């Protein structure tokens, strides 16, 4: 029997010795929030929120100052990690809902929308060990289907109506080959595992938006990834698999492993061709994980922040030229809580500045660039 594993909420709400317990110095009250600017155009703005331990890069929710920033700027939220299998499914018989519940409850109290990320992250390195080593028995295809359908039905049923957009599958295309990633699930069901997950989601939430989410990008070197994603989408549509939107993660800027200085590899027209193909399938677009990696930019904060803002404005203007783009979520509002601080360090070992607010929750040029892009966007119907 499946059990629900709970822990005391007090454990996650302990403020301890957080340096940021005081309310942040925010923008002037008369300055419209980013969500207000988006909403005026029929769009939405929000952020991912980490539910980790206080004082860690993933502990944003437990920082009162950060929650105040969320309340001021956002109209839609998404879990950074709490809905992923490696958090929610510690073993085959357990659903650990507490962190996910906390953010959904917070969003409901604040009148904010919620996205669900993700029902199936089809990558072995981000799957629990028990999934990777699972004994699928004498009928492995049937058991793999049961495992995925059980998970989808349980999670969607719990949050249906409060989470209204689902990243059903995340990052299932290998960017090096453009082919489906091999996992313990695809070894037994192949691409059919994707269809199963989408049909199960639609059955569990007929009114929810269902999305495929991936990190193909506009820079040179992403062509194979783009082609693979389009093949996946073409096949899904041809087979009648329910899908409403493409989630474009939008981690733009410095490549994670390159050493080039500056931002000079974007291919605007090629990217438009990719977006034209996706929207031509009848899909909406969502910017789901936006940030601007500044790994290779010069140290000077002013110059670096302006370069980040300029690239962001160019990218957002292009994306907003598609009326199908309605949601914009950043993968962290503040440089204090960004996944990029912990990966691919700068050569000078200085902190990165990829988000709209600095580590003291003060607005940066990137915040102004996002605001300007919303103001310039055509209203959505």
Q: How confident is the model at residue 26 (pLDDT cuts 50, 70, 90)?
A: low
**In this structure, is residue 288 part of a structural domain?**
yes
What pLDDT is stored for residue 55 in this prediction? Answer: 87
Examine residue 183 and state whether it is found in any structural domain, yes or no: yes
pLDDT in tens, 149-199: 999 999 999 999 999 999 999 999 999 999 999 999 999 999 999 999 999
- Please report where in the chains the tokens 């029902």 appear, as a residue: 119
**Mean pLDDT confidence for 128-132:** 97
pLDDT value of position 260:
61
Highest mean pLDDT among 23-32, 195-204, 249-258: 195-204
Report the domain count for the chain. 1
Range of lowest pLDDT (24-28, 59-63, 194-198, 347-351): 24-28
Q: Which residue has the tokens 């061709």?
A: 273
Give the pLDDT confidence score for residue 122 in this predicted structure: 95
Task: Give per-residue pLDDT as tens, 214-272.
Answer: 999 999 899 999 999 999 999 999 999 999 999 999 999 987 766 665 676 789 999 99
> Can you tell me whether residue 231 is helix, strand or coil?
helix
| Residue 229 φ then ψ, to 5° | -65, -40
The region of weakest confidence among 53-57, 84-88, 110-114 is 53-57
88 has a pLDDT exceeding 70: yes
Cα distances (angstroms) measured from residue 118 to each of 16, 125, 283, 366:
30, 15, 19, 27
Q: Measure the N-to-C terminal CA separation of the chain; round to a whole number of Å.
A: 47
25 found inside a domain: no
Percent of the chain with pLDDT over 90: 86
Residue of higher predicted confidence among 144 and 26: 144
- Helix or strand (DSSP H, E) at 211: strand 209-214
Residue 240: CATH number of its domain? 3.20.20.80
**Rg, the chain, Cα only:** 20
Sign of the torsion formed by the C-alpha atoms of 146, 148, 150 and 153: negative
Once rounded to an integer, what is the mean pLDDT over residues 329-350? 95
Average pLDDT of the segment spanning 92-115: 98
Q: Residue 242's closest CA among 214, 208, 276?
A: 208
**Across the chain, what does the average pLDDT equal?**
92
Q: Coil, strand, or helix at residue 117?
A: strand
Q: Is residue 28 part of a domain?
A: no
**Does residue 146 belong to any structural domain of this protein?**
yes
pTM, 2 dp:
0.92
On whether residue 112 sits in a domain, the answer given is: yes
Residue 205, domain extent: 34-376
Judge whether 343 lies within some domain: yes
What is 131-166 written as a DSSP string? HHT---TTSHHHHHHHHHHHHHHHHHHHHBTTB-EE
Distance CA 379, CA 169 (A): 30
24 found inside a domain: no
């Amino acid at each position: 029997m499946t059990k629900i594993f709970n822990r005391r909420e007090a454990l996650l709400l302990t403020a301890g010795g957080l340096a940021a317990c005081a309310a942040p110095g925010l923008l002037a009250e008369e300055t419209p929030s980013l969500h207000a600017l988006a909403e005026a155009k029929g769009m939405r703005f929000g952020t991912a929120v980490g539910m980790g331990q206080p004082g860690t890069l993933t502990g944003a929710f437990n920082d009162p100052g950060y929650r105040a920033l969320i309340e001021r700027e956002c109209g839609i939220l998404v879990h950074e990690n709490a809905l992923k299998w490696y958090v929610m499914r510690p073993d085959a018989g357990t659903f650990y809902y507490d962190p996910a519940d906390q953010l959904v409850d917070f969003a409901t109290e604040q009148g904010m929308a919620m996205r669900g990320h993700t029902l199936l992250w089809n990558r072995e390195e981000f799957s629990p060990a028990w999934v990777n080593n699972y004994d699928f028995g004498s009928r492995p295809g049937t058991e793999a289907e049961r495992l995925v359908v059980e998970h989808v039905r349980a999670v969607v049923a719990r949050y249906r109506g409060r989470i209204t957009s689902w990243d059903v599958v995340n990052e299932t295309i290998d960017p090096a080959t453009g082919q489906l990633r091999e996992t313990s699930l695809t070894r037994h069901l192949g691409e059919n595992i994707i269809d199963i997950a989408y049909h199960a989601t639609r059955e569990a939430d007929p009114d929810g938006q269902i999305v495929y989410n991936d990190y193909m990008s506009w820079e040179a070197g992403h062509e194979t990834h783009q082609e693979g994603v389009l093949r996946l989408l073409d096949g899904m549509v041809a087979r009648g698999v329910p899908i409403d939107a493409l989630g474009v993660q939008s981690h733009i800027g410095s490549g994670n492993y390159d050493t080039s200085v500056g931002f000079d590899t974007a291919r605007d027209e090629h990217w438009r061709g990719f977006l034209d193909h996706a929207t031509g399938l009848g899909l909406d677009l969502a910017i789901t994980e936006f940030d601007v990696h500044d790994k290779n930019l010069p140290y000077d904060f002013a110059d670096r922040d302006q370069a980040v803002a300029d690239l962001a404005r160019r990218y957002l203007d292009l994306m907003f030229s598609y009326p199908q783009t309605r949601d914009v979520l950043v993968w962290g509002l503040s440089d204090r809580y960004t996944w990029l601080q912990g990966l691919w360090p700068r050569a000078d070992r200085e902190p990165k500045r990829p988000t709209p607010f600095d580590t003291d929750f003060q607005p940066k040029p990137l915040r102004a660039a996002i605001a300007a892009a919303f103001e310039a966007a055509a209203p959505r119907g």
